[in-house]
Structure 1
């Protein structure tokens, strides 16, 4: 999976996760980052609710 713009490196992810009590190696951190980038790419912002008039 290739993302054009990655804002967090694998090394940074390992550090951030370890600061929050989650111990992962670089391979695991890469998988977590890929999942998060995929979720954010496919996230659809909530659409405006249509107001129905009776």
Structure 2
């Protein structure tokens, strides 16, 4: 898979994993990073959460100081 707008490099992902006690090489780091990007791309927020945001926005926008 090729994601155009990757913001985390493979080296950075390896460093973050190593900091948490997970030792991987560059190939494994690439696979892990591609998997995480795929998961993020396919993530859908629940409809309920969207409604909460609109309710919160409407409730706080009407307040006057």
TM-score strictly above 0.5 = yes
Query: Who is 2:24 aligned against?
Result: 24
Give the Cα–Cα distance (whole angstroms) in 2 for the partners of residues 2 and 12 of structure 1: 18
Give the Cα–Cα distance (whole angstroms) in 2 for the partners of residues 47 and 2 of structure 1: 29
Please say which structure displays the higher CA radius of gyration: 2
TM-score, normalization: structure 2?
Answer: 0.71
Structure 1 runs (4+) greater than 3 angstroms displaced: none
TM-score, normalization: structure 1?
Answer: 0.84
Q: Alpha-carbon deviations, 1:5-37, whole Å to 9, x = none?
A: 101100001111000000000000000000000
Query: RMSD value over aligned CA atoms?
Result: 1.2
Structure with the bigger percentage of helix = 2
